[in-house]
């Protein structure tokens, strides 16, 4: 029997506020954030990334995050007037004919109808989110669920510079208790 090679083009659409709140709820740390270097490759497996868009409410979005997403994944950040639901939904429907799979990074039940629509258009839809804060309806409607776990986020801690200046240096606190043992 010969080996079968499957090629899929994937778009990752992130509801930043939803994911940030979910991680904060789990970690109880204000400076917690997704570890994109670990999470995106795990979600993609060996599929190709067509697009990564991070939607976030408000105008105070880290330029460093934007630069990092662009540099590593040619990703972009889209500020939203209110919630990310409508802009993310519009982008997903625009991409439906251009990709094989759309990964929606959110646990919000508002996306159930979008998932149904995209699947009816022939798109595979996957959800990536923190399980404890994710709507079971959304998980059930999706083709696949990627749980975002403690090992998929970082906790940044500010530390004092040893030379006595007031500059703050961010350090990453490791979350991988399994790896530490």
DSSP single-letter state for residue 136: H
Helix (H, G, I), strand (E, B) or coil at 35: coil
Position 9 scores a pLDDT of 96
Residues 6+ apart with CB under 8 A from 4: none
CA distances from residue 3 to 6, 44, 46, 119 in whole angstroms, order as listed: 10, 20, 15, 27
Position 150 scores a pLDDT of 92
Q: What is the pLDDT along the chain (181 residues), one digit of tens a residue?
A: 677 777 899 999 999 999 999 999 988 888 788 899 999 999 999 899 999 999 998 877 788 888 989 998 999 999 988 889 999 999 999 999 999 999 999 999 999 999 999 999 999 999 999 999 999 999 999 999 999 999 998 887 665 555 544 444 444 544 544 444 4
Q: Are 78 and 53 in contact (CB under 8 A)?
A: yes
Position 169 scores a pLDDT of 44
CA Rg, the chain, in Å? 17
Residue among 41, 23, 140 nearest 12 (CA): 41
Q: What predicted TM-score, i.e. pTM, was given to this entire model?
A: 0.83
Position 148 scores a pLDDT of 96
Position 16 scores a pLDDT of 92
What structural domains and CATH numbers belong to the chain? Answer: 9-180 (3.40.50.1010)
84/148 Cα distance (integer angstroms): 19
Q: What stretch of H or E contains 114?
A: helix 112-120
Residue among 177, 174, 170 nearest 65 (CA): 170
């Amino acid at each position: 029997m010969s080996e079968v090679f499957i090629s899929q083009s994937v778009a990752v659409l992130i509801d930043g506020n939803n994911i940030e709140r979910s991680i904060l709820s789990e970690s109880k740390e204000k400076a917690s954030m997704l570890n994109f270097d670990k999470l995106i490759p795990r979600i993609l497996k060996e599929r190709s990334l067509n697009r990564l868009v991070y939607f976030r409410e408000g105008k105070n979005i880290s330029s460093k995050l934007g630069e990092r997403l662009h540099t590593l994944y040619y990703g972009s950040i889209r500020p939203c007037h209110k919630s990310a639901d409508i802009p993310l939904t519009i982008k997903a429907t625009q991409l439906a004919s251009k990709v094989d799979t759309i990964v929606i990074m959110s646990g919000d039940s508002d996306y159930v109808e979008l998932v149904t629509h995209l699947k009816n258009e022939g798109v595979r839809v996957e959800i990536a989110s923190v399980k404890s804060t994710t709507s079971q309806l959304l998980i059930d409607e999706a083709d696949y669920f990627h749980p975002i776990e403690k090992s998929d986020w970082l906790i940044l801690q500010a530390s004092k510079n040893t030379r006595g200046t007031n500059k703050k240096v961010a350090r990453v606190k490791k979350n991988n208790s399994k790896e530490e043992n």
